Structures are given as C-alpha cells and as structure tokens.
Amino acid sequence: MAGEAHTAAATEPIETDAVVIGAGPIGLYQVFQLGLQEIRTHVVDALPHPGGQPLELYPDKPIYDIPAIQVCTGRELVASLLRQIEPMDAHFHLGQKVSQVERRPDGRFLITTDRGTRLIAPTLFIAAGVGAFEPRRLKLPALVPHEGRQVFHQAHDTAELANQHVVIVGGDDVALEWAIRLSRPGPAQPASVTLVHRRDAFQADPDTVAQVRALITGQALRFEAGQITGAVDSPDGLSAVEITSPDGSIHALPLGCLLVFLGLSPRLGTIADWGLAMERKQLLVDTEKFSTSVAGIFAVGDINTYPGKKKLIVCGFHECTLAAFAAAPLVHPERQVMLQYTTTSTRLHELLGVAVPRGSE
Amino acid sequence: MAGEAHTAAATEPIETDAVVIGAGPIGLYQVFQLGLQEIRTHVVDALPHPGGQPLELYPDKPIYDIPAIQVCTGRELVASLLRQIEPMDAHFHLGQKVSQVERRPDGRFLITTDRGTRLIAPTLFIAAGVGAFEPRRLKLPALVPHEGRQVFHQAHDTAELANQHVVIVGGDDVALEWAIRLSRPGPAQPASVTLVHRRDAFQADPDTVAQVRALITGQALRFEAGQITGAVDSPDGLSAVEITSPDGSIHALPLGCLLVFLGLSPRLGTIADWGLAMERKQLLVDTEKFSTSVAGIFAVGDINTYPGKKKLIVCGFHECTLAAFAAAPLVHPERQVMLQYTTTSTRLHELLGVAVPRGSE
C-alpha cells in the first residue's frame, strides 16, 4: 500500500500555523474551520489515507445522523469532507505517527513523526480518535515470521489472493465483509475461503450475517468454529494453521494466506506521555476552547472528554469549530477574531474560492 | 398565507414527550435527536412554514460551512433536514406563537399558543433563534390602516403585484433581491418598481448589489435616496408616499403597493417572562445538557449563550444532540440512556425505518 500522498520525510522542519493529528472526519473538518480563520494546517495520520475510523471500520455502511444528510456511507462522508476542505489547501503527512512533541523556546511546538517529518506550529490539534489504531493480533509467536507475506492484520490487496486458499479470522463486520467480498465470483477469486471464528455466532450487522449464512449454505464460503492455536511451517512458508474446536479437538487447516480481523485496539500511543490532563484514557478539555491542560494544544472528537461528552461525529464538528476560534488569536495575535458567516462574508468567499469579482458599493 | 400544516387549534391539551419551540434548522435536528431517544415531539413555530432564519433570510444563498456539505442554500438545508426527520413523525403547529408556559402540579409543562393549541410535556426545547422574528416596521402611523392591503412587511405573492406601481423600502439583501425579482420581465410584472433607501449604498452581497446597479442603469428599476416620511391617501386607499431626500427636500412618490424590508427585529417575546437565567438577551445554559436554569427546559441554537458560544448552525446541531441525551431520563426514567450508533444499532434502524427484517445470529 503506497503511503503518504503529499509528503516525503522532511529534513528541514516545516513552519506552519497549525498541526492536526488525525485525518478522520473531525480532523478534516478541523482543517476547514481553521481555514476559515486563515490558519494554514498540516495534518499527520498513521493510516496511509485520510478518513480515519469511518473509512477503516465502516466504509460501506450507512450513517444516518450527520445533520442534513439523510444517509451516507463512511466513504461518502470522508469524500464530502475532502471536497469541502479543498480550498484550505492543507498538507497531509500520511502513514506517519507523531513520535515526539516538544515546546520550543519561542513557545511553538516541534512535532516529529516516526518518518522524520518535523513540523513547527503555535497550535496543535489532537483529533486522533481513540488513539492511533492498532489491529488486535493473534497472540501466536509462530505466525510472526509470516506477517506481511502470508499473514495480514489489515485490509489486503485482493488481487494477490487469487487462487489462494484464504483463511479469515474474526466475527465482526470487517471480518464478515471480507468473507463476503472474497467468496463472490470475480476476476481475482481465491481457490477457497474459510471463515474461522471462536463460535458459530457473529457480532455484526444482521444483513451482513445473513449474507454470510447464505454463502455458507451455498458452499461458496466454509466456516469453522474454533481458535487458531498453532502454525504448520513448510519450506515454502506457512502451509497450515492448527484449529482447536470448542470441543477441544485439534486439526490442521491448510492455507496460503491468513487474514486476521480481530478489530482495532484503541491506544493513546505517545499522547499519554505528553503530560496532558486525562480522565479514563481520554484527554480532558474545557467546553469553551476544547483546549487540553497545555495552552495551544487542543483535543477534539473521540479522544477528548468533558461533562456530557458523547462520542458522536456531530459533536466533534462543534468541538473543532470552537477550537478553531480559540486558536485564531494564538496564530494571528494582531487581529480581532470575528464571527463571519459563509453566506454573507466576502472575505470567507475569497478563502473558499467562491468570491464573485464584481463591483459593490 | 395559509398556516399550519398538521394542526388546528386544539381544545383538549395534547400530551406528548417534548415540545420544541422553533422549526429552524436546530429545532428540526432537535426533533431528529429526540427521535433517536424515542421521544415524541410537537413543534411550534410563529412562521407559517418550517425553516426559520435560513429560509426566511437567505433561502437562495449558498451556505458553505455545514459539515460534509460543500455548499447548499438555506432552502436546501431545510429540505434535507425535513427529509431526515421524516421517520420521527413530529407534529407541527405553525403560524402560532407560544403565549404561556406553566408548570403543572405533576411537574410537566403546559404550553399554550396564541391560537389556542395546548401541549403538555415533561420537556421543553427553546430553539427559537434570536426570538420570534418580527419585521422592523416603518414608524409611520398613517401607513397602519393600509397594512395587509397595500403595505406589506414580509414576502408577498408576486402575482398580486402585476401592473402595480411597486415601491420597495430597504437596502439589505432581502430588499435588493425583491427589487431584482420584480424588475425582471415575467408574467406578473409590476407597472414599475422603485427602490427607496436612505442613501445610495447598500449593505448586501456584492453580486446582488451589482445586479441592482445594472437594473437601475438599464432603467428596469428606479432608485430614490431618501426616507418615507408621510402617506397620501385617496378614496381608493394609499395613493402615494412622501419621500424626504437626504438634502431635506420633499416630494410625493405615487404607488399601488409598498413592500417594506427593513430586516427582522430580534425579540425574545414571551420567553423573557419565564424567569429563565439570561445574559445579554440570551438564555444562559450549561454545556453538559444545554439546560436553562429551569430543569426540563432546554435552550439550543442562536437563542442560548455559554462561554465560547458562536452563533453557528454547526454548534446548534451539537447543542441539541446533548440536550436530547439529557432529556431522555426525564422522559423515560425507567430506561438507561445508552449511546448507540445509527450505523450499527438495529433499534435505531427500526426507529429510522431502515431496519432489515432478516435473521441474524
């Protein structure tokens, strides 16, 4: 999977107005609201593409509670936000995790990523959702040597699975959707697809479960209840996994490729080391500025907490809006922050690239 | 203008879960969020249609800052919200103002409108924008007898203006857009259109101003700088108004119809008498529940204030979301309030009418 769209590891630090960590819906709308305040933004995300949780966890599922959007998928939501923020011309540093944040003598932050990107800005916005996502792994050391070649914990290029015996581990929506996708006739069809889950019951959308059941009944998909407890190696690599059934019996399941979808494990990563006030693994913020306990560092979306907090996208949109207003005087101390409306403000029309260059009074 | 879509003045009080005052974008999304909490809602609005400020003040202007909607007009925003809240089956009482709110012995509120509608509910949501809108009037007693026949302070049926000498008073977007609309050739064209404003400068969108200037240059629209300071009556009604120019000279301007667009005057109406804590004519709320100082009465959108408050639609959407969560235990004390996601919750899918009636595990 090709990584960052707009950046390479920089040797010289990049000076900008704001750094947003997280390119999910809230991080993207943060870019928009910062843009309306004439604040230039760089965005860092651990994933190789913008979109965050909706694109990672439910790209094709309908969302019904985004205001004034009757229904959209995670993918559509992200696409709409990317279109909306285009005029803001943000720079994305993708496939990178923030490894260090330091306060410089001039009061600005120096943000360093694990790919060597260095960004200097007076404001930092943490929109990292429930932390950098980390796929939950099968705790089986014998599989480690095969990771990235025959064992995958994330979305995988389906073309490489053609004519392979594919085993999928998991029982949630993501696992089942992969089982459905690979079991259907197509140009790059695997030789066989087997779904392995600890029991014959799934925690997923009823419609998705129904499709999986139909595929199993039609023998397009095999199912095995049990847990993977061992690996069988051959000179060519991993040749089978050992399955322990609920009744305790053990047998070998031959395979060419193992896709593990056990969900994403929330973790705060390096954020936990920054000395920011926290409450139950969330960053504590005020509801006026959505600032953390460190001035200049804001936290918006699922990663923050405050009295009444609900982890909803609609709430994150509000949070990053007020955070942008609060950041404006830090970036432009010489200006007065004014509330302008995109419907009437000619200055905002210029920023949005929709200005009508005609004479007025 | 015909009024309420779904109601007639009731003699018996209607018992429901929630009453929302104001059918603007925030009142409408309030209905949606209450619906997700299984709270039945009645909506009261002084205007004869849902939509509030965007529909009244900028129906055809683009809005750029609704999250994930690159651009939409006020009219489109309202239409989208109405579509989204359809499954919630709210009842609208339109063209009515709330005239009284009383606390009943059982703790619920009795809300009475000036049309005699009476609603009983344990929760009340004030989403009345900057108060019930009231058009600013020309302070000229001589015009009062002609109101509703030749003098209008609000949008008017253009068909009735055909072949009339129409005078428009005002210099803002609404006034100018009416001047543009009426000056253009069409089936119901007035005999003449004259725009009167105190000075030859307009507080409106540059594009709109440019169109008005072009119409004046092309003699499709007349302009007079000055103020209306008198009325000339004839046996058939109002025959002319007296204009006082900036230089102090006075002359008569004959007319058949006078359209006054001097903006809307924000007023809190009866809300001010309810004993709710206020700050600068706004209702003071907390940021956890968006509750006023009276338990059970919430205030959302432009009418409320709290530290950091910005009068933006995106903020109102968040406010009414948290208010709905806070209201849930008041309406359903027996249930535990849980955060469910519209993407995954089968219960929410049922409420939204998108449930898939198939077998799951």
The structure tokens listed for B7 are: 């109601």
A253 touches A224 (CB < 8 A): yes
Angle at alpha carbon of residue B332, lines to B330 and B338, rounded to 5°: 100
- Interface contact B68-A64, CB threshold 8 A: no
- Sign of the dihedral through C-alpha A304, A305, A310, A316: negative
- Residues across chain B: 361
- Interface contact B61-A361, CB threshold 8 A: no
H or E stretch covering A327: helix A313-331
- State residue B5's pLDDT score: 43
Enter the ipTM: 0.70
B61 touches B73 (CB < 8 A): yes
First to last CA, chain B: 54
- State residue A228's pLDDT score: 95
The structure tokens listed for A228 are: 């993977």
Residue of B nearest to A309 (CA): B288
B143 touches B231 (CB < 8 A): yes
Whole-angstrom Cα distance, residue A238 to residue A167? 12
- State residue A126's pLDDT score: 94
Q: Which of residues 3-32 of A touch B (CB under 8 A)?
A: 25, 29, 32
Whole-angstrom Cα distance, residue B59 to residue B52? 10
The structure tokens listed for A264 are: 């994403």
Which chain B residues are closer than 8 Å to A52 by Cβ? none
Contacts of B85 (CB under 8 A, 6+ apart): B28, B29, B31, B32, B35
Q: Please state whether beta strands A282-284 and A297-299 pair in parallel, antiparallel, or not at all (unpaired).
A: unpaired
How confident is the model over A10-27, as pLDDT tens digits? 478 999 999 999 999 999
Which chain B residues are closer than 8 Å to A307 by Cβ? 287-288
3-class DSSP assignment, residue A324: helix
CA A130 to chain centre: 9
Place of tokens 């804001």: A298
**In chain A, which stretches have pLDDT less than 50?**
1-10, 359-361
Whole-angstrom Cα distance, residue B314 to residue B3? 29
Q: Please state whether beta strands A98-103 and A109-113 pair in parallel, antiparallel, or not at all (unpaired).
A: antiparallel
Measured in angstroms, the CA of A159 and the nearest CA of chain B are apart by 29
Whole-angstrom Cα distance, residue B245 to residue B259? 19
Which chain A residues are closer than 8 Å to B75 by Cβ? none
H or E stretch covering A35: helix A25-36
Tell whether A60 lies on the interface with B, counting CB pairs under 8 A: no
Tell whether B69 lies on the interface with A, counting CB pairs under 8 A: yes
Whole-angstrom Cα distance, residue A311 to residue B282? 28
- Interface contact A71-B360, CB threshold 8 A: no
- Interface contact B205-A344, CB threshold 8 A: yes
Angle at alpha carbon of residue B110, lines to B107 and B116, rounded to 5°: 170
Count of alpha carbons within 13 angstroms of residue A239, beta-carbon side? 5
Give the global pTM.
0.71
Whole-angstrom Cα distance, residue A296 to residue A125? 8
Which chain A residues are closer than 8 Å to B67 by Cβ? 25, 29, 32, 66-67, 81, 84, 317
Whole-angstrom Cα distance, residue A86 to residue B213? 33
- State residue B129's pLDDT score: 85
- State residue A1's pLDDT score: 31
Whole-angstrom Cα distance, residue A138 to residue A156? 17
- The single-letter code of the amino acid at B176 is L
Which chain B residues are closer than 8 Å to A325 by Cβ? 308, 310
- State residue A291's pLDDT score: 98
**In chain B, which stretches have pLDDT less than 70?**
1-10, 131-134, 154-156, 264-273, 356-361
